[in-house]
Structure formats: structure tokens, C-alpha cells
Amino acid sequence: MGCITKHYLNEFTILGVWKIEEDLKTLLESVVLDNGDKKKYKAFASTSRKLEFLSVRALLAELLGKDARIVYNKNNKPFLKDGSRFISISHSNKLTAILMSSNEKVGIDLEYMSTNIGKIAFKFLNRREKITKDPENRRYHLYLHWCAKEFSL
């Protein structure tokens, strides 16, 4: 499928979302990987992780052109090689998203809302935090806490 949205949020900020429906061969043929990308790609064991990695590069090319490159700092945080924009990348359940801004730090987080989040809530909530008892909204509230805390890390 490829890029399903390319949206300019303002004069500085662009959001792109890619729906991963391609196989590895198709995505590999659609991107140009430099030596650093090839090394990183080969290190991934799972097909899903390889698809995510390639879809990020395909989406970046769609948003900024085929010469745009992502590099990583020592903490594995992504940056654009030319330093022209701040970038945030997320992927979850066959979707990849990139949010970029030329004037401020940005963050994006895709989360597939499975029913299992309640089982791991103890890992990201403390006893003082209140989550609704309403079964209709409980899962949604748990995901709000999860995503907010992920950005604060």
C-alpha cells in the first residue's frame, strides 16, 4: 500500500504514515540503503522488524526524497543526517509513522490497542495513579498513560 497520509501540520511540521502491506523483496527494491543501513538491516532477526525498518526508509523517501538519511546517536535515537529537522519514528501493527519539524522537537507514538494492556499495567502505573473503573474506557485510559510515559523517558 505505501504512504497512506502525508500531512503538513503547519509550515514547519510534516506527518507521514505508511501501511505495511509489501513483502521484504518489494520494500528492499523500493529503497536505497547506505552501508550503515545495510548493516543494521542484516542484524534484525525477525521479518516484522525488517519490514518496519524498510518501511521507515520508504516513508522518509516519500516525505523528503530519496537522498534523505537517518543516522543514530549512541543511545540509538534517530536523527536526519543533514540535521535539517527533528524526527520521531514509530511503528505498530503494520503501520509506520514519521513526524518531523524544522523548528522544534516532536514525538509520535503508534500503539495497537490490544486487550492485553491490563495485564502489564503494573509495569507502568504506580499505586497513586487512578484509572477509570468504567470498563468502556479503562483500556483507553491505560493507553493514554502508557503513551504519555513513553514520551517522558
State which H helix or E strand residue 120 sits in: helix 117-120
The better pLDDT of the pair 83, 153 is held by: 83
Q: Where are the beta strands (DSSP E) in the chain?
A: 2-8, 13-19, 70-72, 78-80, 86-92, 95-101
Q: pLDDT tens-digit profile of 120-131?
A: 888 888 888 878
Mode of pairing for the β-strands spanning 70-72 and 78-80? antiparallel
Banded pLDDT at 1 (limits 50, 70, 90): low
Banded pLDDT at 152 (limits 50, 70, 90): low
Q: Which of 17-26, 69-78, 138-147 has the lowest mean pLDDT?
A: 138-147
Banded pLDDT at 150 (limits 50, 70, 90): low
Contact by Cβ (8 Å): 64, 57: no
3-state secondary structure of 131: coil
Domains of the chain: 2-101 (3.90.470.20), 117-152 (no CATH)
Q: pLDDT tens-digit profile of 60-117?
A: 999 999 999 999 999 888 999 999 999 999 998 899 999 999 999 998 888 777 778 8
pTM of the predicted model, to two decimals? 0.81
Measured between alpha carbons, how far is 153 from 141 in angstroms, rounded to an integer?
A: 19
Q: pLDDT tens-digit profile of 74-85?
A: 988 899 999 999
Contact by Cβ (8 Å): 2, 18: yes
User: ∠115-118-119 over CA atoms, to 5°?
Assistant: 100
| Cα four-point dihedral sign 125, 131, 133, 138 | negative
Measured between alpha carbons, how far is 45 from 5 in angstroms, rounded to an integer?
A: 29
Measured between alpha carbons, how far is 69 from 33 in angstroms, rounded to an integer?
A: 9
